[in-house]
Chain A
Amino acid sequence: MANTATDHAFVEFERVQKSYDGEILVVKDLNLSMPKGEFLTMLGPSGSGKTTCLMMLAGFETATHGEIKLGGKPINNIPPHKRGIGMVFQNYALFPHMTVAENLSFPLEVRKIGKSEREEKIMRALGMVQMQDFAGRRPAQLSGGQQQRIALSRALVFEPELVLMDEPLGALDKQLRETLQFEITRLAHNLGITTVYVTHDQTEALTMSDRVAVFDDGRIQQLAPPDQLYEEPENSFVAQFIGENNTLMGTVSKIAGDQCEVTLDDGEIIDAKPVNVTEVGQRTRVSIRPERVEMNKERLSPDAHTLKAEVLEFIYMGDIFRTRLRVAGNDDFVIKTRNAPDQVRLTPGTQIDIGWLPQDCRALDA
């Protein structure tokens, strides 16, 4: 986690803490630095402190301790209306008594921008979300997806350098969500806006972001690009939270460089990559992705350890097969295989051998 403050950092959190009641810290020692133009997602379960961080950045909450900087300047003492940050709210927060055009005009009028320039900016902002034809409508006459498009263009109309989004797609159906995910990322990148996006949906986080900050218990558990987050989780929380994951409990029995052996609780031995373990005898939770489990022995190295597994359930999902196994006493061990012409369809009760490349199996904290 490279959290050191750099010269080109645009948004910075420095040792930020937040407590609502003076006793329990909702945000504990947050350090984060974002370069200009980055799309960063704060991902985490509810109550993990991600929304509080966003609200502190917007100015609706004050940090109990620490400093938040925007463009190198501390903003702790600047009220929300002087920060010049755009924001998209979860419930859209469109003004119901104003038309779409009046809603977009509001931030411009507050900034005392002339009428002709205002109209030009409004039409341009509506054009970005293909909503020019709706300028005269009221929010109540629009569908959820249309309202969210308007909320988005309202946050962009005054050309802020930083835009915050608080679960903006939470209330929409799946298909609309996917369309808007694409639209938001496209807009953010085309306009070069720095974006902080809060969500509890890991798919959204993985598909949209340049970097994802996984929050839990008031701390950033891992801050990394999506692929690194998925393939190289740094602790068992991140491994569990992002994507599907198989876990086995065991004890480190041999460790050498970037490879180790783990003795599972039922006595079997597997190969793994030590991530959070440093010495023999430590308890560990090993984590392996369902699609990285190998059933074909020929693809593994000759001296690789394999495990006996019993097929419990076979689920046909179209593009993939999802097979549930009993491995080392764990009944919820899942493997995923691609629906290729030569792929075997396992029947329940079959005994098979499974294995994996050592680097795909990560020995994490217990």
Chain B
Amino acid sequence: MGLPPYATLGQRIWYYSFRVICGLIFFFLVAPIVVVMPLSFNAQDFFTFTPEMLRLDPEGYSLKHYRDFFTNPQWQLALKNSLIIAPLATIISVSLGTLAAIGLSQSHVPFKGTIMAILISPMIVPLIISATGMFFFYAQLGNWLEGTLGLDKGFVGYVKVVLAHAVLGIPFVIITVTATLVGFDHSLTRAAANMGAGPVTTFFRVQMPLILPGVISGGLFAFITSFDEVVVVLFVGSASQKTLPWQMFIGLREQISPTILAVATILVVISIALLTTVELLRRRSERLRGLSPG
């Protein structure tokens, strides 16, 4: 859409400056992430662009930091932990968050606003405060699990971090599922009941497929939250539960290795891949609902 022929000088100036502003905003959002990517291919162990790199000399580039990531046992442990903790926390967040959103969408629930505010609070309360609270709470819980139930210390460590991350993920699921439930026609559940389907069948065959886009995007946010999270892990977890962000944080403090940049690049690629997949899934399910022309 270009400028109409009758545009005044002021409109013309605004037309172009608007584009410049948009470009700047985009630049500020993306630049810090983009700059990390070429640096991760650095042949030296520095965080700076070497003269060879700037000359685009192949000698200046290398995959050694990626090699380090895939061979170093510390990084591998962190990757494994992240891949255990994030999916488990996501599953818990999605199940509980979806149920909470459905419950809160019923008209007869008392104190709806208050309950909603409490459930959303982990997203609003500063993370360091949640983390401090969780530290004391999960320390007690951990002691009880180990002492009274005699569970394995490592296992209890995972339980603590998974539960803490699930709590952080729930608000995202509640918000996205509540948003999709607004457009949900409750006469559909009545129709299903009328045709002989019990509440459980109705939920899985009618309600769930229709709110799936919200559930999926909520789940994605919950996953990313857990996958990126460093504060709560530091407080609640111990060294054997260290996740990728933990290892990166420690790495930045102790030995400034460009392996961190390689990991960052990998995480960015994974995030983009996840977002793309979810968006494709969401479009497909919207098409199935007949909301957009197939």
Contacts and interface: CB of A to CB of B under 8 A. Distances in A.
Give the bracket for the number of chain A residues in contact with chain B: 20 to 34
Given A91-B187, A93-B187, A95-B206, A81 B194 contact: yes
A141 B290 contact: yes
B198 interface: yes
Interface in A77-123: 79-87, 89, 91, 93-97, 106-107, 110-111
Contacts, number: 74
Contact of B192 (A82, A106, A138, A139): A106
B192 to A, nearest CB: 7
B195 A106 contact: yes
B156 to A, nearest CB: 42
Secondary structure of the B side of the interface? helix
Give the bracket for the number of chain B residues in contact with chain A: 20 to 34
A182 interface: no
B210 A85 contact: no
Interface in B146-198: 185, 187-188, 190-198
Interface string B267-294: 0000000000000000001001111000
B46 to A, nearest CB: 54
A81 B194 CA distance: 5
B290 A58 contact: no
Contacts of A211: none
B212 to A, nearest CB: 9
A106 B204 CA distance: 13
A140 to B, nearest CB: 3
A154 interface: yes
A110 B190 contact: no
Given A60-B190, A93-B191, A110-B201, A138 B290 contact: yes
Contacts of A13: none
Nearest to A89: B187
B187 A110 contact: no
Residue among B187, B198, B201 with most chain A CB within 10 A? B187
B197 A106 contact: yes
Nearest to B288: A97
Interface in B70-111: none
B23 interface: no
Interface of A: 58-60, 79-87, 89, 91, 93-97, 106-107, 110-111, 138-141, 154, 158
27 contacts: A58-B190, A58-B194, A59-B193, A81-B195, A81-B197, A81-B198, A84-B196, A85-B194, A86-B194, A86-B195, A87-B190, A89-B190, A91-B185, A91-B187, A93-B185, A93-B190, A95-B191, A95-B192, A96-B210, A97-B210, A97-B290, A106-B195, A107-B195, A111-B196, A140-B289, A154-B195, A158-B196
Given A81-B194, A140-B290, 19 more contacts: A80-B193, A81-B202, A86-B195, A87-B190, A89-B187, A93-B187, A94-B191, A95-B192, A96-B210, A97-B288, A97-B290, A106-B197, A107-B195, A107-B196, A107-B197, A110-B197, A138-B288, A141-B290, A154-B195
